[in-house]
Amino acid sequence: MGKKHDKRDGRDRADKRNKRDKRDARGKSAEGLEREPAGSAQPPATGPVSAPASALAPGATLATPEVDARAGRRRSPFDLTGRTALVTGASRGIGAAIARSLDAQGARVILSARTRSDCEEVAAGLDNEPLVLVAARATDDGAERLATEVLDAVGAVDVLVNNAGVARRSGSAELTGADVDLLYRVNVRNLLLLTARLIPPMIARGGGSVVNVSSVVGQRGAPWRAGYAATKGAVDALTRALAMEHGPQGVRVNAVAPGVVDTAMWRAALAQPGVVDSVLGLVPLRRLSKADDVADVVAFLASDASRYVTGQVIAVDGGMASGLNLYPSV
């Protein structure tokens, strides 16, 4: 009987030692993980990250933040140094602000508009060898002519900002065929044709970013804006379609939708009694937008900071299109 108890006690002690050893091993493993510096499981950012060939479409590149080899640190994803951007409608207002914002991030900017002198005035304040091209945006061949001039001058662009546009404020009953044709020719037709012409060289260059300037009236109903709203709805739709088509080739396509911006286009309307107070009652941030508010979002979409953003229409309107304010005095 004593020998049997001795054997059982021996087995029990061995089992306890095994369990204790396993607990100790788990504890040491956990300690090792806790002591490991945050992020050490990830490889250091020393260059482009490779991906399985099956993960990328033919000709596509995997966008990753670049590394500044001279400084030995990660390059800012907002940096546009070494890139070329075309901004249409760049002579004033939102377009001029976009040109300045892209230039501030290091991009070389090509400014395009109808009036050379106005573009040259904006270009005079830029630092990175700006180029001015005159564009007849309202003509049938305006997009083709501008694309040819751009490609002849720089070969390809990395960023395309389609800002040029026209607006008409009138009741739908007063719209003429000429009005509608002009709105669609400038705001949709030439925008789409210019983009279609410049994307293939952009792909050959390794990809890029297209940013279309739309409007909140493409998302929300606005009286006396039926023709203009229709074109901006079309811009939103083609933005999504082009993003799906060209994403596999490394081209991102997005849009910004400004609200009421304090520019020359809005000055006459804002000067009417009560209009500013009415608009501010619809804007949660309780101020009118400045052109720079829109321009800085465009610069974000042009940069690698938005490298995983495509097919989006981003409202830059102080929250105006986000809801219905039933209590405008609040």
Domain-embedded: residue 276: no
- Give 298-316 pLDDT, tens digit per residue: 999 999 999 999 999 999 9
Domain-embedded: residue 325: no
Q: Which residues are annotated as catalytic?
A: 228, 232
Q: What is the CATH number of the domain that holds 81?
A: 3.40.50.720
Domain-embedded: residue 4: no
Domain-embedded: residue 191: yes
Domain-embedded: residue 142: yes
DSSP lists the bridge partners of residue 8 as none
- Give 227-267 pLDDT, tens digit per residue: 999 999 999 999 999 999 999 999 999 999 999 888 877 77
Number of structural domains (the chain) is 1
Domain-embedded: residue 323: no
Domain boundaries, position 137: 71-264+291-316
Phi, psi (rounded to 5 degrees) for 160:
-125, 125
pLDDT of residue 255: 98
pLDDT of residue 274: 75
| Higher per-residue pLDDT: 169 or 265 | 169
Domain-embedded: residue 49: no
Domain-embedded: residue 324: no
Contact status, residue 123 vs residue 100, Cβ threshold 8 Å: no
23: pLDDT confidence band, cut at 50, 70 and 90? low
Q: Is the pLDDT of residue 14 over 90?
A: no
